Structure 1
Amino acid sequence: MSISITVRNGTAIGKESLCRTCRYASIQLGYSESEEEIRCGYFSELPRLVPFPVSRCSDYLSKLAPTLYELEKIAFIIDVKDVKATSRVGFAGAAVTAGTCEEGSE
């Protein structure tokens, strides 16, 4: 006979805080593992202290993925006004040339 127990909305053990990958977080680490201070800078006037590991946050912005501004900065802009009506738009095919390979005598 087996009994199954399901825990919902329980406390996760051993998970890292969401603040570690947030753009708004300011993290200060000391020499020991217990010396750590995390402040949330979402409100830039007064960053607030975060006293516990965060699992969900409504103001979270990942620093692992680029923002819209960063994507626009590296984007390749195509001006469609300069494209003529007769020219093809899209990717061009690669031209492949075949040649003969000559073996040298030793």
Structure 2
Amino acid sequence: MAFDFQRRRASFPTHSGSPQTMEFAFEFPSNVRSAEAALNGFNVGYTNGDHHLLRTEIDTLVTSISLNTVRVRVTLSLRDSSGTFDDPYNGYIDFMVIVDRV
């Protein structure tokens, strides 16, 4: 049993209209038995001025483990009080994957 981890930054470009997602693959030196993704930090904001905030979503999710590879989906969204994704936003999410490997 060996615990290991890797860190990444997901940089999201300016976008409007919907949440943004990215997929990442992490490769480890041996097969992975289990994995968890953890948020390490983030920075998110509107690119066209000040807005009242309705909802922010920042999420990391392990989507699959296959031998020594772990896939993670990272999601970022920002909506103002209009309730729609009509204003451009951008940001980054720092996250890590912690694994138990053989």
* TM-score > 0.5 by shorter chain: no
> Rg: which structure is higher?
1
Q: Which has the higher strand share?
A: 2
Q: Which has the higher helix share?
A: 1
TM-score by length of 1: 0.22
TM-score by length of 2: 0.22
Higher relative contact order (CA 8 A, sep 6+): 2
